[in-house]
Amino acid sequence: MINKSFSKGDMLDIIRQFNLDIPNSNNMDKLKLSITLWSYVNNLKDIEPDREIYLIENKEELLKYLSEHNPDKLLSVKEKGKLMNFCKRLSCIVLMDILLNVVRLILLRRYIFLQGISRFMEIYPQSEER
């Protein structure tokens, strides 16, 4: 059986690359296409070797390639979603840290400014008399 990591587009690319004659392959859903492709390749005596993209020489190598995890897909959809959520949370944490550092810097500059003013000026409470 063809591994679930192969998308419909991947299977259509394999059909085109190996010149497999599967009619209406573009109109099939992924499950039907995978079943049809698997049975079609199993019933073949041999295939045209592909030395450019897939580096597959015979039918057995193609069946083995299709039954294993797609080497082009490093992460499953679920793993990719988890990674994206982690990255979003991490970027929020970094942004919040940057904002906190900016606020700290502003407060530090105000403190230094006020310390400088207090050296040169005496600050008295304003009296009611004028």
Residues 96 and 104: their CA atoms lie apart, in Å, by: 12
pLDDT band at 130 (very low <50, low <70, confident <90, very high): very low
Would you say 25 and 36 are in contact if contact means Cβ atoms under 8 Å apart?
yes
pLDDT digits (tens, 9 = 90+) for 20-33: 999 999 999 999 99
- Helix ranges restricted to H, 1-130: 8-17, 30-43, 59-67, 77-120
pLDDT score, position 84 = 94
pLDDT digits (tens, 9 = 90+) for 38-62: 999 999 888 888 888 888 999 999 9
pLDDT score, position 40 = 93
pLDDT score, position 52 = 85
Domain-wise residue ranges, the chain: 8-67, 75-130
What does the buried/exposed string (b/e) look like for 66-94 if buried means 16 or more CB atoms within 10 Å of the residue's CB? Answer: beeebeeeeeeeeeeeeeeeeeeeeeeee
Residues 86 and 23: their CA atoms lie apart, in Å, by: 43
Say which DSSP state 71 is in: T
Residues 36 and 88: their CA atoms lie apart, in Å, by: 40
Q: Is the pLDDT of residue 18 over 70?
A: yes
Residue 62 burial (10 A CB sphere; 0-12, 13-18, 19+): buried
Would you say 3 and 70 are in contact if contact means Cβ atoms under 8 Å apart?
yes
pLDDT score, position 122 = 61
pLDDT digits (tens, 9 = 90+) for 77-127: 788 899 999 999 999 999 999 999 889 888 888 888 877 776 666 655 555
